[in-house]
């Protein structure tokens, strides 16, 4: 129940106060606020709570609440400071975008090889975020923070393929829940194609391991048999699409049941079929190129400057219309050339 709403003298924030009704007794604080503040997603409200912007008030004192899961009681009043979204300090850049679909809530793009998703130390320009700011202006969700507006999920710099970005917090929240569920609710589909060294002797399979940072190299992920702190369950389904035993190369399709860092790259290397061009997980297989005949060797060598992995299909439920959206893209040129000669 809204008690009163007023805009502070400062243009940097809006202050709203809500009182818990009897019907709202026992709700989590983030649920209670999400129910009452229609224009803010639950993810955004959790962030406000974690950043000390929610205060419980009574006649005697004001208490800053830091726990989104706190159960509210009837008669309690909560004051919420809602900071206005920060103006992006990132530079808009008119980087060409291959847009597959766009509406008022989201935009689907085919990310090219070599494009970094969001700014990071040492790389503040020429990212997908810079391109999205130039294309969408201020209509990008703020959940990702100042450096990642609109970004719901990511692909590695040298992985190409389909991505979706959110234009508002409600859409961001709805898409994020689908990615967090990893398709278990039947809404999300993520399919990849990879060109790998080696030919599996079976048509398809399933890999289930734990993935965590390597003890010997913290920049690499590796497979573990047992669950421990920092290790997460990872499940990948794969099937053999096309292969050439003489070249010892296979086009493999992978579908993710979980979404761990470098999951496909780690799992395929674990199976003994590292992705061609993978400079982190496939370095021990460079000698295979030397065994190819000269014409094929040139094609593979020219393509192997990056891991040959492409996110070719993405499906999701539109958070607003609830319609099923599925987008597919062809293999990029470097992968397509090798695929043609398999």
Q: Check whether 5 has a pLDDT greater than 50.
A: no
Q: What is the pLDDT of residue 247?
A: 93
Distance from C-alpha of 207 to C-alpha of 111, rounded to nearest angstrom = 27
Q: What is the CATH number of domain 191-340?
A: 3.30.2350.10
Which is the catalytic residue, given 156, 169, 173, 334? 156
Q: Which residues, at least 6 apart from 250, have a Cβ–Cβ distance to it below 8 Å? A: 195, 196, 198, 199, 200, 240, 241, 242, 243, 244, 273, 342
Map residue 296 onto helix, strand or coil: helix
Q: What is the pLDDT of residue 6?
A: 38
Distance from C-alpha of 218 to C-alpha of 83, rounded to nearest angstrom = 37
Q: What is the pLDDT of residue 317?
A: 96
pLDDT band at 152 (very low <50, low <70, confident <90, very high): very high
Q: Check whether 113 has a pLDDT greater than 70.
A: yes
Task: Work out the average pLDDT over 88-107.
Answer: 90
Q: Check whether 82 has a pLDDT greater than 50.
A: yes
**Mean pLDDT over the full length of the chain:** 88
pLDDT tens column, 11-42:
456 788 888 998 999 999 999 998 888 777 78
Domain positions in the chain are 2-83, 99-181, 191-340
98 is catalytic: no
**Shortest CA distance to 258 belongs to which of 203, 213, 210, 220?**
210
Q: Work out the angle between the directed axes of helices 169-181 and 42-50 (0-180°, nearest 10).
A: 90
Among 3.50.50.60, 1.10.1660.10, 1.25.40.10, 3.30.2350.10, name the CATH number for the domain at 99-181. Answer: 3.30.2350.10
Q: Are 284 and 208 in contact (CB under 8 A)?
A: no
- Burial of residue 245, with CB atoms counted within 10 A of its CB: 0-12 exposed, 13-18 middle, 19 or more buried: exposed
Q: What is the pLDDT of residue 2?
A: 47
Q: Which of 41-45, 156-160, 225-229, 295-299 has the lowest mean pLDDT?
A: 41-45
Q: What is the pLDDT of residue 147?
A: 62
**Shortest CA distance to 126 belongs to which of 91, 160, 78?**
91
Q: What is the pLDDT of residue 71?
A: 93
Q: Check whether 338 has a pLDDT greater than 60.
A: yes
Query: In angstroms, what is the C-alpha Rg of the chain?
Result: 24
pLDDT tens column, 210-267:
999 998 888 899 999 988 888 999 999 999 999 999 999 999 999 999 989 999 999 9
* Helices H / strands E in the chain, number of each: 8, 15
pLDDT tens column, 158-192:
999 999 999 998 999 999 999 988 777 788 999 99
CA distances in angstroms from 123 to 96, 127, 287, listed in the order given: 18, 8, 33
2-83 and 191-340 share one fold? no
Distance from C-alpha of 22 to C-alpha of 16, rounded to nearest angstrom = 20
Q: What is the CATH number of domain 2-83?
A: 3.10.290.10
Q: DSSP characters for 89-100? A: -SPP------EE
Q: Check whether 328 has a pLDDT greater than 80.
A: yes
């Amino acid at each position: 129940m809204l008690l009163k709403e007023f805009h502070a003298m400062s243009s940097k924030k809006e202050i709203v106060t809500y009182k818990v009704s009897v019907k709202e007794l026992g709700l989590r604080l983030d649920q209670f606020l999400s129910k009452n503040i229609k224009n803010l997603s639950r993810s955004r409200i959790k962030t406000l709570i974690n950043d000390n912007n929610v205060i419980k008030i009574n006649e005697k004192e004001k208490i800053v609440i830091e726990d989104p899961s706190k159960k509210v009681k009837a008669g309690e009043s909560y004051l919420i400071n809602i900071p206005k979204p920060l103006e992006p300090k990132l530079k808009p850049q008119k980087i060409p975008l291959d847009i597959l679909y766009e509406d008022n809530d989201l935009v689907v793009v085919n990310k090219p090889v070599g494009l970094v998703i969001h700014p990071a130390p040492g790389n503040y320009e020429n990212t997908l975020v810079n391109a999205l700011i130039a294309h969408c202006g201020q209509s990008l969700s703020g959940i990702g923070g100042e450096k990642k507006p609109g970004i719901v999920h990511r692909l590695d710099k040298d992985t190409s393929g389909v991505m979706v970005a959110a234009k508002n917090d409600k859409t961001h929240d709805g898409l994020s829940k689908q990615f967090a569920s990893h398709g278990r609710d039947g809404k999300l589909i993520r399919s990849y194609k990879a060109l790998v060294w080696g030919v599996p002797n079976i048509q398809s399979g399933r890999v289930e391991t734990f993935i965590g940072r390597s003890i010997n190299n913290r920049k690499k992920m590796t497979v573990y048999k047992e669950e421990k702190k920092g290790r997460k369950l990872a499940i990948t389904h794969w099937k053999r699409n096309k292969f050439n035993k003489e070249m010892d190369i296979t086009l493999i399709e992978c579908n993710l049941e979980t979404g761990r860092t470098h999951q496909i790259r780690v799992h395929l290397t674990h199976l003994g079929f590292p992705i061609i061009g993978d400079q982190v997980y496939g370095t021990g297989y460079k000698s295979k190129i030397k065994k190819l005949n000269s014409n094929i060797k040139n094609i593979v060598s020219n393509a192997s400057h990056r891991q040959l992995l492409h996110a070719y299909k993405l499906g999701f439920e539109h958070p607003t219309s609830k319609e099923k959206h599925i987008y597919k893209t062809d293999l990029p040129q470097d992968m397509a050339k090798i695929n043609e000669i398999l």
